[in-house]
Structure 1
Amino acid sequence: MQATRQTWTVVIMAVILAGLSPITASVLPAVGAAVLFGWLLAVQIAAIRSFRATIAATNVRVKPEASRARANTDLPVTATVERPESEAETGITVTFPKPPTAQPASAVDRRITLEPDETHATTTYTVQIPVAGEFTLPKPKWSISDQYGAFTETHVGGPTPKILLSESVARNLHVGRGGAQVTVFGEHTGTHTGKGLIPEKTRPYVETDPANWIDWKATARLGEAHVREFETESNRQMRMIVDHRAKMGIGFEGEQMTALMYVRDVALGIVSTAESADDPIRLVTVGDDGITNLIEGVHRSTQYDEIRQRLLDLEPTPTNGPTSTVELDHPESARRLVRDLGDGESEFERVVYAFATATTSYVQRLSSDPLSQAVRHERANNTSTGVTIILTDDTERSDIWKIARVADRDRGETFLFLAPRVFYDPQGFDNTERAYEQYLEFERFRERLCRLESVTAFEVAPADRLQAVISGRQSGSGSSHSRSEGSARRTGRTQPSVSGGTIDG
């Protein structure tokens, strides 16, 4: 409970009166001071009782328009404050905080004020979060004042609904090659030529084909221009392997934008693309000690929803946290059920919640190099031709190269979505020149991967940070552009440079 300026004014007056009593040799000032102090005490006792009654009787509701939505879009949230007339003597202001990762927004619409004698008010505000994931709206903050305006009380309490944000159409999500954005997802409803997801066959280039449809790998191999057609209704198996080891939790302090969150955005977009084409997709998620999720590829819409939910539930595995000795078929689903205990009041609920969220359960344990072993496990147990999609960062480049070399010898296509660590390291932007050189080094590695016949590699980065690095060295990027052109001449195909531009092929 806090005293207001009005209360301190009364206190000062009472002190002055008490001080005047010995000076004037009169008891009247002392009596006046005693009356003021007594009045303040009575008001304080009444305020405490009314505050407790108000908190108990007031109903606060927070209801998002949808429990699932897209990232980086405005999600309307309706908040309501109600109380009975019998408890309407106090004034209440309830503020509804935004999640830490949400975009800045005006606080005016996120506040409800009930003056004395008012019993009901509603407001609608919007929440915009730039990346996918599961988010909890913070508890509302109350400010209560008594009917005399002498005391105020603050209180934090109320509903904390969860919202699930799926694939982002955020301008801050960049998926591309050499700093240039490419389209990876989208609706597709038949055999077409050009950019798509599942390659079907190559054919000679004809004059009516746009130049950016040319498949430069096939052109270099066959000696004449070829384009690649894509069969989107092929029902071919898609295998998606998502790395959520502890290293994927790296991100910039204060923003909580981690590499895993951006990679997950890409994975969710791929799931939507597969669903629109009715392609079966098999999900494998990899933690520090092995495989944490394994979902077989089927066509049921419920299966696509389950894959989305597993992706949304992913968190970086603890570096040195406890691991469960029980191997579960659906560890993330089990943990999600237990997470509902997080708001529980009993000691049992809190203990179970803490244990469940600190423990990582594995479908299959792998002794070392879990990502490489998971890929080998998939190759050994799934011999059908299909598309393999791997989402990770670039810290273990030797392992990624080995995976790519093995994939190149197999039938089918492999897509690598790599999060360059330089864009997520909190210290990565301390030196712009060093960050630029690290990005050039990553780009050379990505180009090397793309030279493999059946491998295509993309970068996954925050668009604003990528642009900051490129813009910071734009004036000095001529040498890097020359190196990129030299690489294109050696491989016989157009390569994008880190200065941006259009990607051909």
Structure 2
Amino acid sequence: MRDHAARVRTGLVSSNSTRSNQADLRIHVTLDHLKSMEGHVRSLRLLPSKQPSSSVLNGRHASRLRGRGLNFEELRGYLPGDDPRTIDWKVTARTGEPHVRVYSEERDRPTLVVVDQRMSMFFGTRHAMKSVTAAEAAALIVFRVLDQGDRIGGIVFGDELLSEVRPRNSRNACHRLLCALERANRMLKADALIGHEPMGLNQPLSMVARIAKRDHLVVILSDFDGIDDRTETLVAGIARRNDVILCPITDPISQEIPNDLKIVVSDGELQVELDTTHGDVRKRLETFSKGRLADLLNWQKRFGLIVLPLSAGEETLSQLRLLTGGAPQKRRPDL
């Protein structure tokens, strides 16, 4: 049958497939689209060892990215070539023979990906919505962590949704996280009505502090709208015992506010028109945007975390490749 609606009714084509085919992936993601990210993650590297010189995770930029921990394996006699720093001097003094402590790298390290899907993220002027960029970056990180053999979990939050997936080394945890991400992303609509006060960043960060007691990698993908002193306290506490990567998602317009922009913005309940032909309005917007990034860079210096900025005005995969020292992906002629 050529009629697509009839094919859906008869079960030859699923309604989910119909919605997926019609989706504009610049505005909303689909589960299939997020899953397709798995084939592109081999060029990304989140472990601290052997980072390329151009990677923001390399050397002085990494501050104190711990990597996996070490497990004690055995105590044995010293052999030529052993690192003198591994000598156990107490045992050596007691036995009269040099002994070393042997360690092995932990098999995995839990990673927690925190993804913002609030209405403030449902905005884009050039390539995609900020919410889409955050979702794509989260999927890439999820699959890369799983490929490394580490445990993966996450927290996905919107103004009326908060989903938690505890870190597990399993594809089931990965699937649950991507499903939660698709569901939250699908709830974002221009005419959405928020029945209560929009969710702040502090609630999901409190959940992170409860889950990631120590030695986790915590990646936060957000526009960091609504941060306050409590946010700073939570981030500082999490970074004290874990590795933290902040990924501020921005739109190009925040760095290049035009002189003739007239736009209506809304939180789903109230709306206001912004007119940048008025110099005072444009100046306030620029100050606000730069101030938020300045706060994050200040946290980077004070708390030893990493800031990895992403723009909704460019392809997500290419940005992550460049930021982690990889070469940009070559586009096929037919794309």
**Shorter-chain-normalised TM-score: which range?**
0.5 to 0.7
Partners of 1:272 and 1:503 in 2: CA distance = 15
Cα distance, 1:259–1:168 mapped onto 2, change above 3 Å: farther
Instruction: List gaps (5 residues or longer) in structure 2.
Output: 69-104, 262-275, 316-321, 326-335
Offset of 1:246 from its aligned partner? Answer: 2.6
The amino acid of 1:258's aligned partner reads M
2:175 corresponding residue in structure 1? 305
Cα distance, 1:168–1:428 mapped onto 2, change above 3 Å: farther
Cα distance, 1:228–1:445 mapped onto 2, change above 3 Å: closer
Partners of 1:503 and 1:439 in 2: CA distance = 25
Offset of 1:413 from its aligned partner? Answer: 0.9
Partners of 1:502 and 1:314 in 2: CA distance = 27
Q: Which of 128, 131, 134 is equivalent to 1:257? A: 128
Give the alignment's TM-score, normalised by structure 2: 0.56
Partners of 1:190 and 1:247 in 2: CA distance = 31
Q: How many residues align?
A: 247
Partners of 2:207 and 2:65 in 1: CA distance = 30
2:202 corresponding residue in structure 1? 372
After superposition, the C-alpha distances for 1:244-302 in whole angstroms (9 at most, x for unaligned) are 223222334xx89322111111111111111101211122122335x521222211223
1:406 aligns with 2:276: no
Cα distance, 1:263–1:302 mapped onto 2, change above 3 Å: same
Offset of 1:230 from its aligned partner? Answer: 4.1
Offset of 1:418 from its aligned partner? Answer: 1.5
1:193 corresponding residue in structure 2? 50
Cα distance, 1:275–1:440 mapped onto 2, change above 3 Å: same
CA contact (8 A) 1:242 1:284 kept: yes
CA contact (8 A) 2:119 2:188 kept: yes
Partners of 2:300 and 2:146 in 1: CA distance = 27
Partners of 1:306 and 1:454 in 2: CA distance = 31
Cα distance, 1:191–1:458 mapped onto 2, change above 3 Å: closer
The amino acid of 1:278's aligned partner reads G
Cα distance, 1:228–1:382 mapped onto 2, change above 3 Å: closer
Partners of 1:418 and 1:257 in 2: CA distance = 15
Computing the radius of gyration from Cα coordinates, the structure with the larger value is 1
After superposition, the C-alpha distances for 1:416-469 in whole angstroms (9 at most, x for unaligned) are 1122366479x877259757666544442332121133321222212359xxxx
SS, match of residue 308 in structure 2: strand
Task: Identify the structure with bigger relative contact order (alpha carbons < 8 Å, sequence gap 6+).
Answer: 2
Q: Which of 232, 237, 253 is equivalent to 2:110? A: 237
After superposition, the C-alpha distances for 1:467-502 in whole angstroms (9 at most, x for unaligned) are xxxxxxxxxxxxxxxxxxxxxxxxxxxxxxxxxx99
1:294 corresponding residue in structure 2? 164
Cα distance, 1:58–1:298 mapped onto 2, change above 3 Å: closer
Alignment of 1:119-268 (within 5 A): 129=25, 133-134=29-30, 164-166=32-34, 186=43, 192-194=49-51, 213-216=58-61, 218=63, 230-231=67-68, 234-252=107-125, 257-268=128-139
Question: RMSD of the TM alignment (CA)?
Answer: 4.7
Cα distance, 1:297–1:461 mapped onto 2, change above 3 Å: same
CA contact (8 A) 2:62 2:306 kept: no
Cα distance, 1:215–1:368 mapped onto 2, change above 3 Å: same
Partners of 1:191 and 1:292 in 2: CA distance = 30
Cα distance, 1:234–1:463 mapped onto 2, change above 3 Å: farther
Offset of 1:407 from its aligned partner? Answer: 2.4
Structure number with the higher strand fraction is 1
CA contact (8 A) 2:139 2:178 kept: yes
1:277 aligns with 2:142: no
The amino acid of 1:420's aligned partner reads T
CA contact (8 A) 1:241 1:389 kept: yes
CA contact (8 A) 1:237 1:384 kept: no
Give the alignment's TM-score, normalised by structure 1: 0.39
Alignment of 1:307-326 (within 5 A): 307-315=177-185, 316=187, 320-321=193-194
Cα distance, 1:374–1:420 mapped onto 2, change above 3 Å: same
CA contact (8 A) 1:416 1:458 kept: yes
1:448 corresponding residue in structure 2? 298
* Bigger Cα displacement from structure 2, 440-449 vs 263-272: 440-449
1:391 corresponding residue in structure 2? 221
1:205 corresponding residue in structure 2? none
